[in-house]
């Protein structure tokens, strides 16, 4: 079975579960993940949900969609997933306090995907909270990762067309990065 | 949306100057969308000002550079494919008011995305240099812009590589006209970095996996896009 793991991260309320549900061909499965490092993580937050959905490309090939908490303190929960992941969709709700800093904070847990896979930032709820603008996110991401250029999109996780655009965009980035190292060599 | 304060038409009109049509090598003048594109590209570095585009039998487009917005009487889907442009006027600088009250502006990027595709059919925009290559400096907000899946492939390639239109077409499998139209558009939107340099060999760029081999193509087919 060939599989392609795509992660969805972001703060609670950003729309991760909805986004996966919109894309998935199966009902989203929420998996309780037990804390194995209780000395590190406070007991009150020892179980957290992972969301799972999938898209079948053929009988033996699937795109697996995982919603993860994304914060550093929960890294242990999905370190294996992170190793297998090809890309990340970070969702941030624009009405969250200091949402731009929040996006940078969450992305800090995904350095490997920023530099070797693909990352897209989807800003949700821009219809009800138009500020900050997408430019504020771009500027903050450029300051934090000057050599990486990540797409920043306004997105409605309920909109299948928009979610498909985001997923295809992410896969295009991963494909381009993985398939044509000679292009980079040529264009230097 | 903040309503804009109205300005009396007589006083507003005095602030604007007519922009003559650009010509290529002193010859053919820019017409239609190419005329508008040449004007907008020349004002790309401006941070404020108003551009008025008068279309023959299709109303007027008002562009507010500072707000990155535009107004038009119709829907974006109703824009003419090949308009006749009667006149383009501009007033640059702070303090220039939009001459009408309009409640629902569109986003300027949507207009530029549309114009850029149509302004120079089959050729590079007149401000582009033949041997230049282009790298993406900012992704357009594609959830708000009508696009084709091949646009995604080309944009992804331009993210990490500086490519000429010919190289972009070869690497993506897209038609050359599609590649040049995308580069025209992105440059009009100010989303490209230009790499000036030596002429590049024409077809030495390895192509992406054939359409049925790559994950992108399989996913695209699965999603019916």
| B50 and B99 housed in the same domain | yes
Residues B146 and B106 in one domain: no
B128 inside domain:
no
Are residues B214 and B113 located together in one domain of the fold? no
B205 contacts on A by Cβ (under 8 Å): 180, 182-183, 186
Final residue in a domain of this structure, among B84, B118, B152: B118
Closest chain A C-alpha to B28 CA, distance in angstroms: 34
Q: For position A70, which CATH number holds?
A: 3.40.50.300
Q: Please count the structural domains in chain A.
A: 1
Kindly report, residue by residue over A153-188, the tens digit of the pLDDT: 999 999 999 999 999 999 999 999 876 555 555 454
**Sequence-ordered strand ranges (E) for A23-128:** 29-33, 48-58, 61-67, 85-93, 118-124
Residue B1 lies in a domain: no
Residue B160: per-residue pLDDT = 87
Same domain assignment for residues B151 and B206: yes
Over pLDDT 70: what percentage of chain B?
84
What is the full DSSP assignment across A154-177?
E--TT-HHHHHHHHHHHHHHHHHH
User: pLDDT tens digits for B95-127?
Assistant: 777 766 556 789 999 999 999 999 999 999 999
DSSP conformation letters of chain B: -PPPPP--HHHHHHT-EEPPPPBSTTSSBP-HHHHHHHHHHHTTT-SSEEEEEEETTTEEEEEETTTTEEE-SS-GGG--SSPPEEEEEEEESTTPPPSS--S-PEEHHHHHHHHHHHSSTTS--TTS-TT-EEEESS---GGGS---HHHHHHHHHHHH--B-HHHHHHHHT--HHHHHHHHHHHHHTT-EEEE--SPPPSS-PPPPSPTTTSHHHHHHHHHT-
**Residue A138 belongs to domain spanning:** 2-186
Give me the CATH number covering residue B217.
Answer: 1.10.10
Specify whether B155 is located in the same domain as B88. no
Q: Which whole number is the average pLDDT over B211-220?
A: 80
* Whole-number Å distance between alpha carbons of A121 and A8: 10
Do A141 and B124 contact (CB within 8 A), yes or no? no
Higher pLDDT, A134 or B209: A134
Last residue of a domain, one of B94, B118, B142: B118
> Does residue B93 form part of some domain?
yes
Kindly report the length of chain A. 188
Minimum-distance CB partner of B220 among A58, A149, A168: A168
Averaged pLDDT for residues B70-84: 86
- Kindly state whether A151 is in contact with chain B, defined as any CB-CB distance less than 8 angstroms: yes
Are B141 and B66 in the same domain?
Answer: no
Closest Cα in chain B to A160: B223
- Judged by a CB distance cut-off of 8 A, whether residue A61 touches chain B is yes
Interface contact flag, A177 B220, Cβ < 8 Å = no
CA B43 vs. chain centroid, Å, equals 13
Residue B162: which of A61, A125, A187 has the closest Cα? Answer: A187
Is the pTM above the cut of 0.90?
Answer: no
With cut-offs at 50, 70 and 90, classify the pLDDT of residue B11.
low
Say what angle helices B149-160 and B215-223 make with each other, to 10 degrees: 150
User: What is the number of structural domains in chain B?
Assistant: 2
Q: Is residue B86 part of a domain?
A: yes
**Residues in chain A within 8 Å Cβ distance of B200:** 186
In a domain, residue B61? The reply is yes
Same domain (yes/no): B142, B109: no
Nearest-neighbour CA in chain A from B30: distance (Å):
32
C-beta atoms of A177 and B133 within 8 A = no
Non-local CB neighbours of A123 within 8 Å, separated by 6+ positions: A91, A92, A93, A94, A99, A134, A137, A152, A153, A154, A155
Instruction: Convert the pLDDT of each residue in B141-182 to its tens digit.
Output: 999 999 999 999 999 999 989 999 999 999 999 999 999 999
- Measured between beta carbons, the chain A residues lying within 8 angstroms of B133 are 187
DSSP state of A118: E
| Cβ contact, residue pair A171, B219, below 8 Å | yes
If asked whether residues B66 and B150 sit together in one domain, one would say no
Q: A7-66: per-residue pLDDT in tens?
A: 999 988 899 999 999 999 999 998 765 555 445 444 444 346 689 999 999 999 999 999
B171-183: pLDDT as tens digits: 999 999 999 999 9
Distance CA B141, CA B123 (A): 25
In a domain, B182, yes or no: yes
- Asked whether residue B127 is assigned to any structural domain, the reply reads no
Range of the domain at B55: 9-118
What are the tens digits of pLDDT across the range A65-91?
999 875 666 667 677 788 889 999 999
Q: Given A155, A179, A184, which is nearest B209 (Cβ)?
A: A179
- Quote the Cα angle for B30-B34-B38, to 5°: 85
Whether B26 maps to a domain, the answer reads: yes
CB–CB contact A176 B160 (8 Å): yes
């Amino acid at each position: 079975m060939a599989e392609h793991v795509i992660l969805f991260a972001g703060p609670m309320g950003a729309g991760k579960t909805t986004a996966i549900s919109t894309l998935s061909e199966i009902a989203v499965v929420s998996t309780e993940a037990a804390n194995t490092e209780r000395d590190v993580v406070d007991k009150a937050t020892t179980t957290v949900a992972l969301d799972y959905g999938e898209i079948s490309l053929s009988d033996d090939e699937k795109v697996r969609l995982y919603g993860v908490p994304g914060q550093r303190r929960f890294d242990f929960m999905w370190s294996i997933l992170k190793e297998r992941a090809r890309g990340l969709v970070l969702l941030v709700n624009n009405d969250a306090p200091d949402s731009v800093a929040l996006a940078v904070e969450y992305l800090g847990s995904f350095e490997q995907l920023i530099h070797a896979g693909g990352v897209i930032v989807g800003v949700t709820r821009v219809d009800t909270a138009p500020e900050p603008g997408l430019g504020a996110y771009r500027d903050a991401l450029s300051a934090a990762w000057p050599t990486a250029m990540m797409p920043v999109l306004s997105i409605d996780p309920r909109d299948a067309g928009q979610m498909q655009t985001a997923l295809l965009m992410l896969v295009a980035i991963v494909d381009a990065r993985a398939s044509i190292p000679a292009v980079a060599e040529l264009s230097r | 949306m903040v309503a804009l304060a109205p300005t009396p038409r007589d006083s507003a009109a005095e602030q604007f100057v007519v922009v003559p049509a650009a010509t290529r090598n002193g010859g053919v003048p820019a017409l239609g969308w190419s005329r508008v594109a040449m004007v907008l590209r020349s004002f790309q570095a401006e941070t404020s000002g108003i551009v008025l585009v008068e279309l023959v039998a299709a109303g007027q487009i008002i562009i507010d550079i500072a707000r990155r917005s535009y107004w038009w009487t119709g829907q974006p889907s109703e824009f003419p494919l090949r308009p006749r442009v009667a006149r383009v006027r501009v007033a640059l600088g702070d303090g220039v008011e939009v001459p009408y009250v309009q409640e629902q502006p569109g986003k300027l990027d949507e207009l530029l995305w549309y114009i850029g595709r149509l302004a120079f059919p089959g050729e590079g925009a007149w401000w582009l240099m033949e041997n230049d290559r282009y790298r993406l400096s900012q992704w357009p907000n594609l959830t708000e812009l009508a696009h084709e899946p091949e646009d995604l492939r080309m944009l992804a390639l331009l993210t990490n590589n500086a490519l000429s239109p010919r190289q972009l077409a070869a690497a993506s499998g897209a038609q050359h006209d599609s590649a040049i139209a995308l580069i025209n558009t992105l440059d009009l939107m100010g989303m490209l970095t230009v790499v000036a340099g030596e002429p590049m060999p024409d077809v030495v760029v390895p192509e992406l996996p054939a359409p049925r081999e790559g994950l992108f193509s399989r996913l695209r087919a699965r999603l019916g896009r």
